[in-house]
Structure 1
Amino acid sequence: MHSAPAPTKGAPAGIGVFEKWLSIWVALCILAGLVLGNLLPSLFETIAAIEYASVNLIVAILIWAMVYPMMVGVDFASLKHIGDRPKGLILTVAVNWLIKPFTMAALGVLFFEYLFADLIAPEDAQSYIAGLILLGAAPCTAMVFVWSQLTKGDATYTLVQVSVNDVIMIFAFAPIVAFLLGITDIVVPWQTLILSVGLYVVIPLLAGAMTRHLLTGSTQSADAAPRVDRFTAKVKPYSIIGLLATVVLLFGFQGPVIIEQPLLIGLIAVPLIIQSYGIFALAYGAAWAWRVPYKVAAPCALIGTSNFFELAVAVAISLFGLNSGAALATVVGVLVEVPVMLSLVAFANRTGHLFPGSD
């Protein structure tokens, strides 16, 4: 799911139609969900009732379909390069785990408890803040390979960064989310939170690693990476279907709320957009000041800016329900992310000559 100027393992042909126009497909699914939710409310009530241990089984299947192909692309063998050029990795870890979750929570509180206080009910505001926190605490796992490719980033180094983030996510996601939800006075259902991390991070990650091992064996032959690419290409459509179907379901449940508050999507988008540009400026500026080579600096900044929205959606549904404001906020994150990220890719490409190693 990533590429480099020269052929490297796991390199894709280029950004696909789906990735390029993701916001359009998501917008169409939002419209479909709103229409279906108002025309067929009993259908969505039936779907909501199909759950076990606070986990909706239909949504769980869709989330697994989304996440699994990405996890196959994570090569933990790349962790042996963790000490190579440490500056980019240090920036990635610092931005993703020491800064980004906290700035997202702060922006959520600022906008929904103060600036938008007269526009949104307090209980709804807390739910939207929770969704923003989940997005902020989930660093990108899949789409970052696309952003890395579009900025001619170092493919192998991007893979190292993503692999390290995935390992950290297993242990840090739940405590950070619980801490931030706690300081915003939201009750933390620890059991459900831990279950969600197990279901949507640990299990898909193990399944992806097992699949990758079966595809490549213990060899590092030239044909190993293409086998992984061919497999992920076959399962990728299920990931797309899973994402779009989840969006339809979420907006089917949110239909009445959104129709009553048509500006709600825009209100949620404001702190997300500010967070995205702010985090990119911080990471990209720090990389420039630290003289990190461009092919490492650009993906490093984009990893911090992008979100693992599939995980955020899944956990929001598990913690707060299909028709919650938290789930709605995470899906708005999907809608906002792609146009913002493409604008940042364009900016990086225009300014790459300012970095060392930008030949």
Structure 2
Amino acid sequence: MSFFERYLSVWVALCIIIGVAVGQFFPVIPDTLSQFEYAQVSIPVAILIWLMIYPMMAQIDFSSIVNAGRKPKGLIVTLVVNWLIKPFTMFFFAWLFFRYIFSPFIPGDLATEYIAGAVLLGAAPCTAMVFVWSYLTKGNAGYTLVQVSINNLILIFAYGPIVMLLLRMNNVVVPFDTIFLSIVLFIIIPLAAGYISRVILVKRKGLQWFENVYLKAIGKFTVIGLLLTLIIIFSFQGEVIIENPFHIVLIAIPLIIQTLFIFIIAYFWAKKWRIEHSVAAPAAMIGTSNFFELAVAAAIALFGLHSGATLVTVVGVLVEVPLMLFLVRIANQTRHWFPIENT
């Protein structure tokens, strides 16, 4: 890893502080950016996420997508963890901490909202940011794409029923247009751009130039896009964070426990099955991280901008990025645990 990537957690912390400061001292910036939304998806954030994902998509050798079905173990790990384990453990940890352990500090009605926000967060596996985590762990780009695509198809049909089951609601409305737009922005557009640029540039410049010059050059956009995205997100939510410092600590505890718990299950399951590291690491990352864009949008739509549910989803973003960078480091340092990829 480069010097910049090695201390990425430091840059992340600085960008969070900058984002909160921008929201407090230059509110005209988030106010202006918030006008560019469609289906509760921020277009500026979508563009930056696109910049993060495109370098990953450009790496994809599309024959690897065809061959992904020959390695079903990675898909089994991510699908079982994402849909049969993760939503329910998130509900359990949220219920345990907010309803009982932290009950002296959190009123009952607010605990209900916090549990709802945690469920909205935990029921949606990562769609966009996982490409960043996969890139940082040298994951198989084609296989990561297959994993994310299948999870997105399941997400369309399973998110609403799982949320309704866990919260015992009869009238939960999942913003389908938000899901659909996110899939188009975060997968289809960068995938098409990556495919077209790869075909054209390999044809004109050759594969060696494309891999050794072009991919190294555009790889910098992944980290830059991540940091700029954090500045924008926290410029939107800075006031909420400043007004609830103690509750943010309380909310962060079960979210951190949940994240580590899911990573341990997925990563060690992949190790037990002797799955190649380039498949195992992204498989664990997809389940460990969350589709926070959808969670925040759903919380706002269902409970309101200043609700406890929305606060939990925002804290989810605050906790997730530094924690995922920590897990990326663990994954890179334990690469030798896994078999060498067959080429």
The normalised TM-score by structure 1 is 0.74
Contact residue 44 and residue 249 of structure 1 kept, 8 A: no
Query: Which residue type is aligned with residue 50 of structure 2?
Result: Y
CA RMSD of aligned residues (A): 3.8
Query: Aligned residue pairs: how many?
Result: 328
> What pairs with 1:36-185 in structure 2 (closer than 5 Å)?
36=25, 50=35, 55=40, 60-72=42-54, 73-74=56-57, 75=60, 77=62, 78-136=64-122, 137-139=124-126, 140-149=129-138, 155-156=139-140, 159-182=141-164, 183-185=166-168
- Aligned residue among 305, 308, 326 for 2:309: 326
What CA deviation, in whole Å up to 9, does each residue of 1:29-57 have, x standing for no partner? Answer: 464267449xx6xx6996698487863xx
2:248 pairs with 1:265: yes
* Structure 2: unaligned runs, 5 residues or longer: none
CA, structure 1 residues 102+202, in 2 after alignment: closer, same or farther (shift >3 Å)?
farther
Q: Determine the C-alpha separation between the residues in 1 that align with 2:109 and 2:30.
A: 22
2:230 pairs with 1:243: yes
Instruction: Give the superposition deviation at 1:269.
Output: 0.8
Match of 1:216 in 2: 198
Q: Determine the C-alpha separation between the residues in 1 that align with 2:336 and 2:266.
A: 17
- Aligned residue among 314, 324, 343 for 1:341: 324
* Structure 1: unaligned runs, 5 residues or longer: 1-11, 150-154
Q: Determine the C-alpha separation between the residues in 1 that align with 2:170 and 2:44.
A: 27
- The DSSP-based 3-state class of the residue aligned with 1:292 is coil
Match of 1:301 in 2: 284
CA, structure 1 residues 243+324, in 2 after alignment: closer, same or farther (shift >3 Å)?
farther
Contact residue 53 and residue 186 of structure 2 kept, 8 A: yes
- The DSSP-based 3-state class of the residue aligned with 1:21 is helix
Instruction: Give the superposition deviation at 1:194.
Output: 0.3
Match of 2:273 in 1: 290
CA, structure 1 residues 34+298, in 2 after alignment: closer, same or farther (shift >3 Å)?
same
Contact residue 215 and residue 228 of structure 1 kept, 8 A: no
Contact residue 316 and residue 327 of structure 1 kept, 8 A: yes
Instruction: Give the superposition deviation at 1:166.
Output: 2.3
Contact residue 252 and residue 319 of structure 2 kept, 8 A: yes
Which stretch shows the higher mean deviation, 320-329 or 270-279? 320-329
Contact residue 144 and residue 283 of structure 2 kept, 8 A: no
Contact residue 69 and residue 232 of structure 1 kept, 8 A: no
CA, structure 1 residues 48+357, in 2 after alignment: closer, same or farther (shift >3 Å)?
closer
User: Between the two proteins, what is the percent identity of the paired residues?
Assistant: 33
2:7 pairs with 1:25: no
Instruction: Give the superposition deviation at 1:20.
Output: 3.2
CA, structure 1 residues 240+61, in 2 after alignment: closer, same or farther (shift >3 Å)?
farther
CA, structure 1 residues 174+45, in 2 after alignment: closer, same or farther (shift >3 Å)?
same
What CA deviation, in whole Å up to 9, does each residue of 1:121-143 have, x standing for no partner? Answer: 44433433333234322225223
Q: Determine the C-alpha separation between the residues in 2 that align with 1:32 and 1:171.
A: 38
Match of 2:260 in 1: 277
Which stretch shows the higher mean deviation, 194-203 or 175-184? 175-184
- The DSSP-based 3-state class of the residue aligned with 2:103 is coil
Contact residue 65 and residue 146 of structure 2 kept, 8 A: yes
Instruction: Give the superposition deviation at 1:224.
Output: 4.7
- The DSSP-based 3-state class of the residue aligned with 1:213 is helix
Match of 2:180 in 1: 198
Contact residue 137 and residue 281 of structure 2 kept, 8 A: yes
Contact residue 60 and residue 314 of structure 1 kept, 8 A: no
- The DSSP-based 3-state class of the residue aligned with 2:130 is coil
The normalised TM-score by structure 2 is 0.77
CA, structure 1 residues 24+81, in 2 after alignment: closer, same or farther (shift >3 Å)?
same
What CA deviation, in whole Å up to 9, does each residue of 1:251-284 have, x standing for no partner? Answer: 23x15xx53x431111111111111221122122
CA, structure 1 residues 22+319, in 2 after alignment: closer, same or farther (shift >3 Å)?
farther
Q: Determine the C-alpha separation between the residues in 1 that align with 2:78 and 2:180.
A: 24
